[in-house]
Structure 1
Amino acid sequence: MLRYTLMRLGIFVGCLVVVWGLVYSGLAPSGLGDSNGLWVVLLALVLSAPISFVVLRKERDRASVQIVRRVDRMKANLEANRSQEDAEDVADDTSRAQTS
């Protein structure tokens, strides 16, 4: 998961550098008034999103498999805890019934 995040960040930074270069050289518009920095960041986000979607498809699939495994493991642990608590409750009820 960290690998995927770092790869996405790398693509964004690459797009940010390219967009900044295009704006600085005058090949791309510089935004309105003092919005130059915001314009460059937004344009880099818009460009990096589809690139990340296409280029990182396999890495995204790997990350999602890891997440599914973690969720399944957590569900199994919760179910095991729940069944253990139920067994303890039954044992407590049985011991109370015997003492009464």
Structure 2
Amino acid sequence: MLRYTLMRFGIFAGCLVVVWGAVYSGLFPRGYGNANFFWVLLLSLVLSAPISWVVLRKERERASVHVAGRVDRIKANLDANRNQEDGVEDPAAAQGRAS
């Protein structure tokens, strides 16, 4: 999962450098007033999302298998704990029936 996140961040950083260069060279329009940094950031996010979607498909699938495995283990542990609790009799309830 960390690998996917770092790869995604790397793609974003690459897009940020490319967009920054394109804005300052005049290929892309500059932002309005002091909003130029946010304009570059927004364009980088918009460009990096579809690139990440295509390029990181296998890594995303690998990460989802990892997450699904963890969820299955947690569910199995919860079920095991629930079954252990069902097998234990409550002492207060047992005393109430004995009376």
TM over 0.5: yes
1:1-100 map, 5 Å: 1-89=1-89, 92=91, 96=95, 100=99
How far residue 89 of structure 1 moved from its aligned partner, in angstroms, is: 2.3
2:33 & 2:46 partners in 1: Cα distance? 21
Return 5+ residue gaps in structure 2 as ranges: none
Q: Deviations over 1:54-91 (max 9, x none)?
A: 0000000000000000000000000000000111127x
Distance 2:34 2:58 in 1: 39
The root-mean-square deviation of aligned C-alpha atoms, in Å, is 1.9
Task: Count the aligned residue pairs.
Answer: 99
Where structure 1 has 5 or more consecutive residues not aligned to the other structure, the ranges are none
> How many percent identity over aligned positions?
67
SS at match of 2:28: coil
Distance 2:9 2:81 in 1: 38
